[in-house]
């Protein structure tokens, strides 16, 4: 057995508008852990987007890895975990789902659990509470998922999305719990039918790779965006400017506050230059779909 590994997990965007708690897309922004067996637990954080002042016992990755090991009646072996992340915290880019998937991979390798992909989809989605970000971080690509009441995940993966994705990250955090707190507890039937028809058309357009319609249905969510828009800096202005500059469509990335535009791959750099000039207080990043999902390499 090796004594050093690298775990690489893509971040993700969730919902793409009306695919609320169901649709996810792995993005080319990564959480990376270098894991080395040693006699004591130690986390070393390098760069931005990593927790500060966290004890081992309070570390999300340690806590989840321990929980998963115990679920299988095992104990974690101690190790040094060096962590870097391109995923800003609490911005809607799947940082917590990526950390959960990383922790499951850590438990899997330290305890030799031999987890299947289905196990990883189920465990990560159960911990996260919904399968959108978690399945995208496990599998990569675009994932359309449902989780049954007993926590079994079913996913259809759509690969080869021929588009680029631009994320508009504001300089403020928005915790998912707060963004879920503004959502109505119930919808009446006629409203729910319209909301679900838009979600169905988004999923169909994604499978058909009909980019104009993907963009159109991304922008007509009724499940969450109408209630969250007021929490999002420059929500209306970014939608309008992105459309004007040639985006197929723009939606909240997960619970926000990041917005994401899907745009033609050709001309993507120019789109970003244009948006940076108009929204100087946002961090604007060009990404593509990740197609590999969670990767573990022995070093
Ligand atoms: N689907 C989730 C939401 C993603 O919109 O609240 C964030 O966890």
Ordered by start, the domain boundaries in the chain are 4-159+290-298, 164-287
3-state secondary structure 92-142: CCCHHHHHHHHHHHHHHHHCCCCCCHHHHHHHHHHHHCCCHHHHHHHHCCE
Tell me the C-alpha distance between 93 and 258, whole Å: 8
> How do residues 255-265 score in pLDDT, each as one tens digit?
999 999 999 99
- Give 69's contacts (C-beta < 8 A, 6+ positions apart): 75, 76, 107, 110, 111, 113
Q: Is the pLDDT of residue 1 over 80?
A: no
Q: Is the pLDDT of residue 2 over 90?
A: no
Q: Give the closest residue (by CA) to ligand 1 atom 3.
A: 255
Once rounded to an integer, what is the mean pLDDT over residues 108-112? 97
Which residues have C-beta atoms less than 6 Å from ligand 1?
14-15, 20-21, 130, 132-133, 176, 179-180, 224, 254-255
Q: Is the pLDDT of residue 54 over 90?
A: no
Once rounded to an integer, what is the mean pLDDT over residues 84-97? 95
**pLDDT score recorded for residue 61:** 97
Determine how β-strand 79-85 pairs with β-strand 153-158: unpaired
> How do residues 288-299 score in pLDDT, each as one tens digit?
999 999 999 999
Tell me the C-alpha distance between 285 and 95, whole Å: 16
Quote the pTM value: 0.96
Q: Please identify, by atom number, the ligand 1 atom nearest to the C-alpha of residue 92.
A: 7
> How do residues 159-201 score in pLDDT, each as one tens digit?
889 999 999 999 999 999 999 999 999 999 999 999 999 999 9
Distance 130 CA to ligand 1 centre (A): 8
Q: Please identify, by atom number, the ligand 1 atom nearest to the C-alpha of residue 130.
A: 1
Q: Is the pLDDT of residue 102 over 80?
A: yes
Instruction: Please say whether the beta carbons of 168 and 272 come within 8 A.
Output: no
The class that CATH gives domain 164-287 is alpha beta
Measuring CA to CA, which residue among 66, 135, 73 is closest to residue 98?
Answer: 135
**Separation in Å, CA 66 to CA 95, 102, 123, 240:** 19, 12, 13, 46
How high is the mean pLDDT of the chain? 96
**pLDDT score recorded for residue 34:** 98
Distance 265 CA to ligand 1 centre (A): 26
Q: Please identify, by atom number, the ligand 1 atom nearest to the C-alpha of residue 224.
A: 5
Tell me the C-alpha distance between 146 and 140, whole Å: 16
**Separation in Å, CA 112 to CA 68, 84, 119, 195, 205:** 12, 24, 14, 44, 40
The class that CATH gives domain 4-159+290-298 is alpha beta
Instruction: Please say whether the beta carbons of 36 and 78 come within 8 A.
Output: no
Distance 270 CA to ligand 1 centre (A): 30
CA-atom Rg of the chain in angstroms? 19
């Amino acid at each position: 057995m090796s004594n050093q590994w690298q775990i690489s997990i893509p971040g993700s965007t969730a919902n793409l508008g009306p695919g609320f708690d169901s649709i996810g897309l792995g993005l080319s922004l990564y959480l990376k852990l270098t894991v080395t067996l040693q006699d004591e637990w130690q986390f070393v954080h390098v760069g931005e987007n990593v927790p500060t002042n966290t004890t081992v016992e309070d570390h999300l990755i340690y806590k989840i890895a321990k929980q998963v090991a115990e679920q299988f009646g095992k104990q974690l072996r101690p190790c040094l975990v060096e962590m870097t992340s391109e995923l800003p915290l609490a911005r809607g880019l799947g940082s917590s789902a990526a950390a959960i998937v990383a922790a499951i991979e850590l438990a899997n390798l330290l305890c030799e659990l031999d987890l299947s992909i289905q196990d990883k989809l189920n465990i990560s989605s159960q911990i996260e509470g919904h399968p959108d970000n978690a399945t995208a971080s496990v599998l990569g690509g675009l994932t359309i998922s449902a989780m049954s009441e007993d926590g079994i995940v079913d996913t259809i993966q759509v690969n080869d999305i021929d588009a680029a994705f631009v994320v508009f990250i504001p300089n403020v955090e928005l915790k998912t719990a707060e963004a879920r707190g503004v959502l109505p507890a119930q919808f009446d039937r006629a409203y729910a039918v319209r909301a679900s028809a838009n979600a169905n058309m988004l999923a169909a357009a994604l499978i058909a790779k009909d980019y104009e319609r993907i963009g159109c249905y991304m922008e007509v969510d009724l499940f969450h965006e109408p209630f969250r828009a007021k929490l999002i800096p420059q929500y209306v202005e970014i939608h309008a400017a992105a459309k004007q500059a040639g985006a197929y469509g723009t939606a909240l990335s997960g619970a926000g506050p990041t917005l994401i535009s899907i745009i033609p791959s050709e001309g993507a750099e120019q789109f970003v230059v244009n948006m940076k000039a108009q929204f100087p207080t946002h961090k604007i990043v060009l990404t593509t779909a990740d197609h590999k999902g969670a990767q573990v390499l022995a070093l």
